Chain A
Amino acid sequence: MKKMLLLLSLALLVVLASYGGAAEKVTLPIAVFPDLDGAYEQCLPLFNSEYPDIEVIINSLGIDDHHAHIVTTIAAGTGAEDVVAVEIAYIAQFVAEGGLVDLAQAPYNATDYSHSITPYALKQATTTDGRLVAMPVDIAPACGFYRRDVFAENNIDINDIKTLEDLFAAGEIITKDTTGDGRNDHWLLADAASIYDMIIHSAPELYFDEDGNCQVNSDRFREAFTWAKRFHDAGLAGAIGAWSQEWFAGFQEGTVAYEPCGAWLGGHLEGWMAPETSGKWGVAPWPALHEGEEPMAGFWGGSYLAIPEQSQNKDAAWKFIEFIATNRDSQITAFKATNAFPSWMPAWDDPMFEEELEFFAGQKARLLWTDIAKAVPGVVTYKYDAIANSIIAAELGMVLHEDKDIDRALSDAQRQIERRIR
C-alpha cells in the first residue's frame, strides 16, 4: 500500500513537472564589452515584456579581454556565452568556418531585414563566401570633429574645406608654434595616420578584392600613404597616440583642431574627455579625396551580435539578437543610454535625431550622421583581413617615421601578405 502511494505521488509530480516545463525559464548568458553592458541592461525590461521566459545574464569584460575570451572559448568548444558581441575591428578573426553561426540561413533568415539595416554594416559582417556571421546592432558613421573656436580664430570656414587639399591648406594655417620654442604646439590633427584611416575607411574595397587577391598595391592605398606622409612631414600632426593623456589634453586645450572619428566620440568628449569644451565643437563630413568628388564617407567602429556554433540555446539567442537589432525601441534605448548609434534605419525617424546638440553649438549632428551612414560603402570581410591590417600598419609606421619609400612599403606589404596566406 505504501509503495503504491509513493509511486502514485511520483507519477503526479512528473505530470505536474511536465506542465511546468512548457513555461520553463531559459537562461541566456550574453558576453559584451562596455558600454554595451549598460545599454543592454536598460533594454532588458522591454525585452522581458515580450519574452518573459528568457532570463538574460550579462557578462562584461574589457574590450580586448572580451575578444580574447571569445577566441579561447571558440577554440575550446565550450564555455562561450549564447550571444557574443563583436566589434568591427575583430570581426575578421571570427569568420573561420564553424565559429559563429551563419545568420543568413534558416531559421534566422537575418537577411530578410536587409531593407532596414544600414547596408554597409550588414555587408561588413558578411564573409566572402556569403555567410552573415554577426548581426549589426550599432554603427559608427565617421565625421570630422572640429573646434569652432580654433577655426574661427584662423578665419577658416569649415564649409570651404571640400577636398583634402583644402584640409591641408587649413592645417598649414592652424599649425603654429605659439611658445616660440621651435616646436609646434597647436596642430590640425593628433596623428597623421588618421588621414590614412579616412581614406581607407571610406574605400569601396579593403585589402583584398572579391577573388581574394591582395590589392594593397592599389592606387587608393598609395594615395592614402602619400597623403598621410604629406600631413606628417608638414608637421600638421602632433604625433599624439589615440586614447593617451596627451590626446585628451589636446581636446581639452584646443591644441588639436580636427579629429576624424566615429560619431561615438561626441558622447565621450561630452561625457568625460572634455566636457568643459561644450559648445566649441562642430561636426562636418570628411573632405573629398579629389576635386569634384563626393565627400569621403567612412565608418569608425560598430558593434555586432553573434551566436557561437556551440550554443545550446540558439533559438533564444536569436530572439535576443533580433530584438536588439531590429526593434525600434531597443535601438533608441541603447542610443540614449550609451550613444550606440542605431543600425536599424527606421529608428532614425525618432524626434531625437532632430535635436540641436548643445555640445556642437546647436548643430543637428545626428542628422549629419544618418546622411553619412547611408553613403558609407560596404565591404565584405575576408578571413585574412586581420593579418593584412597588421602588416599594413607596420609599413605605414615605416613610411611615416622612417621615411621608407611608399612604393617599396606597399610592395613589401603585398609580398608579405601573399606569402602568409598562400
Chain B
Amino acid sequence: MEKLEAGQIKINPFRRWQKKAAPYIFISPFYIAFLIFGAFPIVFALYLSFNTWTGVAGTAIEFVGWENYYYTLTDPMFWDALKTTILIGVYSGVPQHILALFFAFILNLGFVKVKEFWKATIFMPYITSAVAIALVFSVFYSHPNGFLNYIFVLLNNIPGLSSLLSWIGLDPPVNWLANTAWMRPAVSFTVVWMFTGWNTILYLAGMQAISHELYEAARVDGARWPQIFFRITLPCLKPMIQFAVIMTVIGQMQLFDQPLILFGVHGGTGRAGYTIAMFLYQTAFNWNFFGSAASIAYVTFMFILIITLITKRLLRSHEEVD
C-alpha cells in the first residue's frame, strides 16, 4: 500500500470500480430480464424464421433459407388475416381517437364538475383485464337473447325505427359474433370501449400543455368553440396525436385477446375475426410450424414498421419539418 501524502484521500481501486459499476448493477435486473425475455426471443425468432422446427426440444431445426418468407408472402391466409387486422384496426382506431379528442376537449374546458371522477371512469376500461372485458362482451353480444339484441328487438317493435334499422342492414336479433357483416364492428366496439380512456388521458395531458394565452387571444378575437378546437387545439396537439396514433397502430396490428375470446381460436365464421396474431399463434402452437410462424412475426414487423413510418410522416408537426 502506497504511503499517502498529506491531504490525499485514499481511494481503493476496488472502491473506484464499485462507484463506476454501481449504476450498471442497479439497472441490471431490468437488463437481465430483458435479455432473457425480450432479446433472446427476438433473436431466436429471427433464427427460426430461416428454419423449420416442429417445436419438440432436441429435434432437428432444418435450415430452409427464405422458404418460410416466400411461403408467408404468398399465403392467402396471411393476406386475409392482414386485411382483417387492418380493417378491425381502422374500425376501432378511428373512433377511439375522435372520441378521445372530444372527451379530452370537454374535460379540458373546465365546465365539467368532478373532473377527476370522469377521468378515472373513462380510464377504467384500460386497466381492466382484456379477457374479463371480452368475456362480458361475449355475453352482451350473445344471440338470440343477449342484452344488445334485447334492446334492438324492443327498438324494432317501434314502427318508425324498424325501417331505419333495416335500412342500416340490421335485422334483430343479430348474431353479432357469428354474422360476418357484424363481427368486425362488434370486436371494434369492444376495443374502442377499452382504449378510448387511454387516448383521452394522453390528449388531456397534451391539451394542458397548450398555453392559455392562445385561447384568450382567440376568444378576444371572437372565435367560437369549434373554431378554437380546429384552429388552435388540434394543431398544437399534433405531436401528441402522432404519438397516440402510432401507439394505436402498433397495438391494433397485434390485436389478439379480444378476437380470441369473442370468436374462438379459428376467428369465427369465415375467419372474419382472424387477426395476424391469431394466425401466428395457430401456426406455431396448434399446427407446429414454428419456423413459418417466426417468419409471419417478422413480416408483420416489417408491415408495422412501414405503417408507422407513413403515420409519422403524415402527422409530422411543423417543428419537425423545419
Segment of B111-119, B124-132, B141-149, B239-247 engaged in the interface with chain A: B141-149
Q: Is the CB of B56 within 8 A of A75?
A: yes
Q: Is the CB of A74 within 8 A of B56?
A: yes
Residues in B with CB closer than 8 Å to A75 are 55-57, 290
Interface string of A408-422 (1 = CB under 8 A from B): 000000001001100
Q: Which one, B173, B266, B286, contacts A93 given CB within 8 A?
A: B286
Q: Does A96 sit at the interface, judged by CB under 8 A? A: yes
Name the CB-closest residue of B to A393: B266
Interface centre among B139, B178, B288 (most CB of A within 10 A): B288
Interface string of A218-238 (1 = CB under 8 A from B): 000000000000000000001
Q: Which one, B75, B175, B270, B285, contacts A397 given CB within 8 A?
A: B270
Residues in A with CB closer than 8 Å to B180 are 401-402
Residues in A with CB closer than 8 Å to B286 are 93, 386-387, 390
Interface range for B: 20 to 34
Segment of A13-21, A40-48, A239-247 engaged in the interface with chain B: A239-247
Q: Is the interface of A mostly helix, strand, loop or mixed?
A: helix
Q: Is the CB of A402 within 8 A of B269?
A: yes
Known contacts: A239-B178, A416-B76. The answer to whether A394 contacts B270 by CB under 8 A is yes
Alpha-carbon distance between A307 and B106 when the two chains are bound, in angstroms: 62
Q: Does B211 sit at the interface, judged by CB under 8 A? A: no
Residues in B with CB closer than 8 Å to A249 are 145
Alpha-carbon distance between A64 and B113 when the two chains are bound, in angstroms: 47
Q: Is the CB of B58 within 8 A of A98?
A: yes
Q: Is the CB of A245 within 8 A of B142?
A: yes
Q: Does A76 sit at the interface, judged by CB under 8 A? A: yes
Interface residues in A72-89 (C-beta closer than 8 Å to B): 74-78
Q: Is the interface of B mostly helix, strand, loop or mixed?
A: loop
Alpha-carbon distance between A307 and B315 when the two chains are bound, in angstroms: 57
Q: Does B108 sit at the interface, judged by CB under 8 A? A: no
Alpha-carbon distance between A75 and B56 when the two chains are bound, in angstroms: 4
Q: Does A141 sit at the interface, judged by CB under 8 A? A: no
Q: Does A68 sit at the interface, judged by CB under 8 A? A: yes
Q: Is the CB of A394 within 8 A of B55?
A: no
Residues in A with CB closer than 8 Å to B311 are none
Q: Is the CB of B56 within 8 A of A99?
A: yes
Interface range for A: 35 or more
Q: Which one, A98, A239, A241, A393, contacts B59 given CB within 8 A?
A: A98
Q: Does A71 sit at the interface, judged by CB under 8 A? A: yes
Residues in B with CB closer than 8 Å to A390 are 266, 282, 286-287
Q: Does A398 sit at the interface, judged by CB under 8 A? A: yes
Q: Does B54 sit at the interface, judged by CB under 8 A? A: yes
Q: Is the CB of B179 within 8 A of A401?
A: yes
Interface string of B261-294 (1 = CB under 8 A from A): 0000011111100000000001001111010000
Interface string of A21-32 (1 = CB under 8 A from B): 000000000000
Distance (whole angstroms) from the CB of B98 to the closest CB of chain A: 31
Alpha-carbon distance between A373 and B76 when the two chains are bound, in angstroms: 40
Q: Which one, A68, A96, A239, contacts B288 given CB within 8 A?
A: A96
Name the CB-closest residue of A to B267: A394
Residues in A with CB closer than 8 Å to B268 are 397
Q: Does A310 sit at the interface, judged by CB under 8 A? A: yes
Q: Is the CB of A96 within 8 A of B55?
A: yes
Interface string of B174-212 (1 = CB under 8 A from A): 010011100000000000000000000000000000000
Interface centre among A68, A96, A239, A397 (most CB of B within 10 A): A397
Q: Is the CB of B287 within 8 A of A402?
A: no
Q: Does B77 sit at the interface, judged by CB under 8 A? A: yes
Name the CB-closest residue of B to A68: B285
Distance (whole angstroms) from the CB of A411 to the closest CB of chain B: 14
Using a CB–CB cutoff of 8 Å, the interface residues on chain B facing chain A are 54-59, 75-77, 139, 142-145, 173, 175, 178-180, 266-271, 282, 285-288, 290
Further pairs besides A249-B145, A394-B270: 15, Cβ < 8 Å: A68-B285, A76-B57, A93-B286, A98-B57, A98-B58, A238-B144, A239-B144, A239-B175, A241-B178, A244-B142, A246-B142, A309-B58, A386-B286, A394-B267, A402-B270
8 smallest CB-CB distances across A and B, nearest first, come from: A77-B57, A96-B54, A397-B269, A387-B287, A98-B56, A75-B55, A98-B59, A99-B56
